[in-house]
């Protein structure tokens, strides 16, 4: 819910909305992980992959993608958190710790 409408609803509606979205998020996330997990266990797909790709190519591709994701995340998180800290009146004492937390996925 947008911060514009959040102030215009009652406390009970806020709690209900928060719990409803948290429940929906949990259900959809569980469904997604179950679907991906069951898809990964499909033996017929692994037979097709085994005929066309080698394990070396698969590991190389996975490693390359992981490295690119980490580099791109670092390229955005560290400079943007530094710029964000420049605009705040109260500077963050532990800039690198905060950046590492953001880089790790903990946004709070």
| Number of residues in the chain | 108
> For residue range 8-22, what is the model confidence (pLDDT) as tens digits?
888 888 889 889 999
Taking CA atoms, 64 is separated from 67, 71, 108, in Å, by 5, 11, 29
Between helix 95-103 and helix 55-87 the angle, nearest 10°, is 140
- Confidence class of residue 108 from pLDDT cuts 50, 70 and 90? very low
Segment 74-100 mean pLDDT: 68
Give the pLDDT confidence score for residue 84 in this predicted structure: 74
What's the token pair of residue 99? 């950046």
């Amino acid at each position: 819910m947008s911060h514009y409408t959040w102030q215009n609803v009652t406390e009970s509606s806020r709690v209900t909305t928060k719990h409803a979205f948290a429940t929906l998020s949990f259900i959809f996330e569980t469904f997604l992980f179950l679907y991906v997990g069951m898809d990964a266990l499909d033996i017929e797909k692994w037979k097709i992959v085994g005929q066309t790709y080698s394990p070396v190519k698969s590991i190389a591709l996975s490693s390359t993608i992981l490295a690119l994701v980490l580099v791109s995340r670092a390229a955005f998180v560290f400079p943007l958190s530094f710029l964000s800290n420049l605009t705040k009146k109260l500077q963050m004492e532990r800039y690198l710790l905060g950046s590492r937390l953001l880089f790790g996925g903990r946004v709070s």
